[in-house]
């Protein structure tokens, strides 16, 4: 999973020829720790059909604000720079996996 910041966002996300799944997280977010292992498993299955990146919302406030984050973690699917879907408010691993299957 690629860590993206404000300096690399345009190149890695907006200009990506592949769909991009963004994992918005923060170090203080306990549920966020459940997301990374699930996303790593999914990345292994999808590669190279979709790029998965992570963005620390606390360190990249401009991006978090631009996408109107209300809660963390938030997962967002972008294709050709446009938001296609978002997942927020999940609490369990099974709920996350089901949402990702619908999304991808």
- Selecting among 1, 29, 46, 103, the annotated active-site residue is 29
Helices (H), the chain: 9, 32-46, 61-66, 93-103
50 is catalytic: no
The separation between the first and the last C-alpha atoms of the chain, rounded to the nearest angstrom, is: 16
CB atoms within 10 A of CB 6: 13
Note whether 87 and 100 are within 8 A (CB).
yes
29 is catalytic: yes
Residue with tokens 């209300």: 70
- Selecting among 4, 20, 22, 32, the annotated active-site residue is 32
Active site positions, annotated: 29, 32
């Amino acid at each position: 999973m690629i860590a993206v910041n404000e300096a690399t966002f345009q190149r890695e996300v907006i200009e990506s020829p592949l769909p991009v799944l963004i994992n918005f997280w923060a170090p203080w977010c306990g549920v966020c720790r459940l997301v990374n292992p699930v996303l790593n498993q999914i990345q292994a299955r999808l590669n190279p059909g979709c790029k998965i990146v992570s963005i620390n919302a606390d360190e990249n406030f401009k991006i978090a604000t631009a996408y109107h984050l209300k809660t963390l973690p938030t997962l967002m699917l972008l294709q050709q720079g446009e938001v296609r879907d978002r997942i927020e408010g999940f609490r369990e691993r099974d709920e996350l996996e089901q949402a990702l299957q619908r999304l991808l």
